Structure 1
Amino acid sequence: MIFLLQTSVKSYENYINGQWIASVSKETFESINPADTTDVVGKFQSSTEEDVKKAIDAARDAFPGWAKTSPSKRADILNKAADILESKVDQYGEELTREEGKIISAAKGEVKRTAQTLRYYAVEGLSFTGETFPNDDPNMDVFTQREPLGVVSVITPWNFPISIPARKIAPALITGNTVVFKPSSDTPLIALRLVEALHEAGIPKGVINFVTGAASKIGDSIITDPAIRAVTFTGSTQAGEDIHRKASLTTRTQMELGGKNPLIVMEDADLGEAAQLAVNGGFSLTGQACTGTSRVIVMKSVAEEFTNNLIEKTKALTIENGLNPDAKIGPLANNKQLKNVLNYVNIGKEEGAQLVYGGSQLTGASFEKGFYIEPAIFTNVTPSMRIAQEEIFGPVIAVITVESYEEAIRVANDVEYGLSASIVTKDIKLAKQFTHDIEAGTVKVNRTTTGNLINAPFGGLKKSSTSTFRESGRVGLEFFTQIKTVYVGY
């Protein structure tokens, strides 16, 4: 594959009230390719609170008209936007890889999934309504009706920078809300492409607004403004807790946060299959998934054989620029991520865990300009170690040995998170028991901890989520609506 050198860096603007406009600050920041830091993907607006206020005001003013817009017209816009995304999968996939680092097949798959999400909510939104209740008065009807909330703030991370926004924005729009969208500053271009598609699809001015910039400068204003009726956020638990504290009593919040997800490997498991599930869950997307496998809890009797399989399959992974079709792992998303993962590798060593594979920053001609690291595998890990308790958000797997299923469950649940968990076993009865015993919002059997369907609910327990409203699936519409109970006498 030949990578073309860019001759100029394009500047991109905010999208407010149906227009692409520069920030009042007149300042920009650069989005950098994590595989090659000399490659600047684009320049984006360093927005201010004044820019955010303009976006919120535009969304507030557009809300009454959008709320009255027919559901079929809203659905038509979502479907047209999906058409636009699908027609540009190759371009957008390459841009996503350049901006975030994930391998090209995953990037193109994410763009396609985003289009599917828009189409899914275009259909589901047409039948999402209230209920009618029987009563003893033959001259009265009692029913509920669902109504949109108003202005919704959408704040999203860099690891799935177009699909996560879509699963928030699509249900918000189809139910009649207006949106102020702030993407991660690491991946603003692919987020902009989603807004661009909605613009080209004919969405009315002010219905969706897009501002870029540092959370430290504009994060509070997008949460605390009195016009904001709801905030939906995906990111770190620390940031989510901060948002939850700052939001007012009348502002609804939806937080999908961190994870420390276990894969339990029983004695009867196919150990080769179990090792592949661990590799797929822990190292795909360079370990940068909130549902990624970070702990493997394995029965002591098969731990050595399993670990040998895990190391062998990890060695077979090709680490390269994600634009190379042979790559299985790309770089970490930014220098902060690289330093964080390397720090945790050192912490694991200091705690007494045994680093049996990887964990080093990659050097040499192919890696010197990017944030590359070898996937790391630790053994001799105890449940109380920091590498077994804290979210690393990188390609690090901690192997913990146990004597029984009961011990495995205790270890799996003994963290502050509860996002995703899986077990590998041929025992159907035990698998069924696992689905009840595990403290996680997403539970899997003989599958990776990563991945979720667009038509099934997604969310965590404990500090992985506010556990109020789920994302994805039909229930993903509930967060964006409020219920009125109506009594009509005749």
Structure 2
Amino acid sequence: MSESKQNYIDGEWSEASTGETFETTDPAAPSETVAEYQQSGEEDAEEAVAAAAAAQDEWAATPGPERGAILRETGSILESRKDELTELMTREEGKTHAEAGGEVQRAIDIFYYFAEKTRDLGGNVKAASGRRTNLYTVNQPVGVAALITPWNYPIAIPAWKVAPALAAGNTLALKPASVAAGTAVAIFEALDEAGLPDGVANIVTGPGSTVGDTLISHDDVDAVSFTGSSEVGEMVYSKATDDGKRVQTELGGKNPTVVSDTADVEEAAEIVAGGAFGVTGQACTAGSRAIVHTDVHDEFVERVVEEAEALEVGPGDEYDMGPQVTESELESSLEYIDIAGDEGATLETGGGRPEGERFEEGYYVEPTVFSDVEPHDRLAQEEVFGPVLAVLEVEDFEDGLHVANDVDYGLAASILTNDHTEAERFVDEIEAGVAKVNTATTGLELHVPFGGFKRSSSETWREQGDAGLDFYTIEKTVYDSF
């Protein structure tokens, strides 16, 4: 019997007003139900916002260190449940145990980090031009925040939205992705156990077309933070800004790794494979394009194919790469593989569903490498969100930089080189919010800004670290003359 989860609204666990529920299943064994959640509607979302609005003044007036103590305890509770939540994520999202465990730890670290940051929240004192005047700034919470999060990092992304929002004194309502909602619900279980006052944080599960839309458009919502596809995120941004809301979006990517002729090819292949096939390629920062200097191209292709073929695919509790999260995501990856073949790319390895007894169930696809990909092929331009790597051959650094920038996205980018001048130019000229040298496009520190350029974000507010707090605060300047 699968566990039944409820909404958390105004400090109470409750069923949806619709009376309906939905189930999540294991992508490694889709016939197995993992958990049951509330199929909420507009009324539930409205109740969550009303609760957050009612709790806002009191939570904003709570001293920062007192808010921090609740966040710290939340992190501690999550830490005590780490093994359980790791297993839940593997069963619900399909990540390997190592990937899921790392993500749960990241969520724990985020709560600990923002717990300490509450001690630094305040403002700045400036020198006034006149005598007997104190001139200073005060940071205040924006108000009620609506948070909408995706399935591919089902605890880390909710954590990096919820923790800074609460640290800064905001109240909130969260709608997690339906296909992997369990670890997001666990955050609110921990907040409740940690003593968070009623109404401060609320979670409502259900479809974006009702729950998400109600949160975004509600008059009492002051800020909206969304992570998901560019297509949906652009609609969210337009709708929310039309209502005068503060909006932060983190969207898709088509992330390049430029491989210089000076790079260690064996190391480069290992780095690229990790960025392309880690978390089954289901990361907005996945390194889906390898842009390789012609002098090392053939050796690189040989080496990266070896890396791909060395990966053991299967259920996340035993193997190197798990399944895709849903059948529709699997079908999308297979469709892009067909498109690449039709466009003339050369399939070097993978390209289909693996065969064998353990693959009879599950949304598995082989780690796939294509060479002879042209810069304007769809495989080189569109986000696949699966373990499919496009290798593009370029004549020199200038050509590589041009190809790297010649897409609609600009989230993360990397260069693998032993030429420091190339590295410096790449950092200066790459059109991406995250620039890396000699490491994969994936992997983020939690205390520095994260966000993209072009269609990878709204280019307004960044997430994480002090930048995350900036989004959830508004500055007031005080002239105090006496």
**Which TM bucket (shorter chain)?**
over 0.9
Aligned to 2:382: 390
Aligned to 2:12: 19
Distance in 2 (alpha carbons) for counterparts of 1:451 and 1:90: 22
| Secondary structure class of the residue paired with 1:264 | strand
Distance in 2 (alpha carbons) for counterparts of 1:380 and 1:108: 37
Aligned to 1:285: 279
Q: Is the 8 A contact 2:257 2:413 kept in 1?
A: yes
| Secondary structure class of the residue paired with 2:257 | strand
Structure 2 alignment gaps of length 5 or more: none
Q: Match of 2:256, as an amino acid?
A: P
Query: What displacement does 1:244 show?
Result: 0.7
Query: What displacement does 1:487 show?
Result: 1.1
Aligned to 2:468: 476
Aligned to 2:246: 252
Query: What displacement does 1:363 show?
Result: 3.6
* Residues 1:413 and 2:426 are matched in the alignment: no
Distance in 1 (alpha carbons) for counterparts of 2:25 and 2:460: 36
Aligned to 1:5: none
- Equivalent positions of 1:328-347 (< 5 A) are 328-347=320-339
- Equivalent positions of 1:63-462 (< 5 A) are 63-247=56-240, 248-324=242-318, 327-462=319-454
* Residues 1:487 and 2:479 are matched in the alignment: yes
Distance in 2 (alpha carbons) for counterparts of 1:344 and 1:60: 45
Q: Match of 1:275, as an amino acid?
A: A
Q: Is the 8 A contact 2:67 2:118 kept in 1?
A: no
Query: What displacement does 1:220 show?
Result: 1.2
Aligned to 1:466: 458
Query: What displacement does 1:197 show?
Result: 0.6
Q: Match of 2:291, as an amino acid?
A: I
TM-score (norm 1): 0.97
| Secondary structure class of the residue paired with 1:231 | strand
Distance in 2 (alpha carbons) for counterparts of 1:466 and 1:28: 33
Distance in 2 (alpha carbons) for counterparts of 1:101 and 1:450: 18
Distance in 2 (alpha carbons) for counterparts of 1:136 and 1:91: 59
Query: What displacement does 1:433 show?
Result: 1.3
| Secondary structure class of the residue paired with 1:102 | coil
| Secondary structure class of the residue paired with 1:219 | helix
Distance in 2 (alpha carbons) for counterparts of 1:486 and 1:71: 20
Distance in 1 (alpha carbons) for counterparts of 2:58 and 2:409: 41
* Residues 1:57 and 2:53 are matched in the alignment: no
Partner deviation per Cα, 1:193-249 (whole Å, 9 max, x = no partner): 111111110100100001000112222111000000000011100010010111134
Query: What displacement does 1:476 show?
Result: 1.2
Distance in 1 (alpha carbons) for counterparts of 2:351 and 2:67: 48
Query: What displacement does 1:364 show?
Result: 3.1
| Secondary structure class of the residue paired with 2:178 | coil
Query: What displacement does 1:129 show?
Result: 2.1
Matched length:
481
Distance in 2 (alpha carbons) for counterparts of 1:245 and 1:304: 45
Identity of counterpart residues, as a percentage? 45
Distance in 2 (alpha carbons) for counterparts of 1:362 and 1:62: 52
Partner deviation per Cα, 1:332-374 (whole Å, 9 max, x = no partner): 0111100100010011011111111102012432012100000
Partner deviation per Cα, 1:121-148 (whole Å, 9 max, x = no partner): 1111210222222222012122111100
Any runs of at least 4 consecutive aligned residues in structure 1 with deviations exceeding 4 A, and if so which? none
Distance in 1 (alpha carbons) for counterparts of 2:239 and 2:459: 18
| Secondary structure class of the residue paired with 2:23 | strand
Query: What displacement does 1:328 show?
Result: 1.0
Partner deviation per Cα, 1:162-187 (whole Å, 9 max, x = no partner): 01111110000011000101000011
Alignment counterpart, residue 42 of structure 1, candidates 20, 35, 42: 35
Which region of structure 1 is more displaced relative to structure 2, 19-28 or 106-115? 106-115
Partner deviation per Cα, 1:14-53 (whole Å, 9 max, x = no partner): 0000000000111001111101011111110000000000
Partner deviation per Cα, 1:422-464 (whole Å, 9 max, x = no partner): 0111111211111001111100011000011011111111111
| Secondary structure class of the residue paired with 1:76 | helix
Distance in 1 (alpha carbons) for counterparts of 2:3 and 2:275: 36
Distance in 2 (alpha carbons) for counterparts of 1:374 and 1:27: 37
| Secondary structure class of the residue paired with 2:107 | helix
Which region of structure 1 is more displaced relative to structure 2, 85-94 or 126-135? 126-135
| Secondary structure class of the residue paired with 1:392 | coil
Distance in 1 (alpha carbons) for counterparts of 2:192 and 2:247: 26
Distance in 2 (alpha carbons) for counterparts of 1:468 and 1:124: 22
Partner deviation per Cα, 1:370-420 (whole Å, 9 max, x = no partner): 000001111111000000000111111100000010000100000010000
TM-score (norm 2): 0.99
| Secondary structure class of the residue paired with 1:126 | coil
| Secondary structure class of the residue paired with 1:338 | helix
Q: Match of 1:379, as an amino acid?
A: S
Distance in 2 (alpha carbons) for counterparts of 1:323 and 1:214: 29
Query: What displacement does 1:323 show?
Result: 1.2
Query: What displacement does 1:108 show?
Result: 1.1
Q: Is the 8 A contact 2:308 2:368 kept in 1?
A: no
Q: Is the 8 A contact 2:204 2:211 kept in 1?
A: no
Distance in 2 (alpha carbons) for counterparts of 1:234 and 1:409: 27
Distance in 2 (alpha carbons) for counterparts of 1:441 and 1:126: 28
Distance in 1 (alpha carbons) for counterparts of 2:91 and 2:184: 13
Distance in 1 (alpha carbons) for counterparts of 2:101 and 2:76: 15
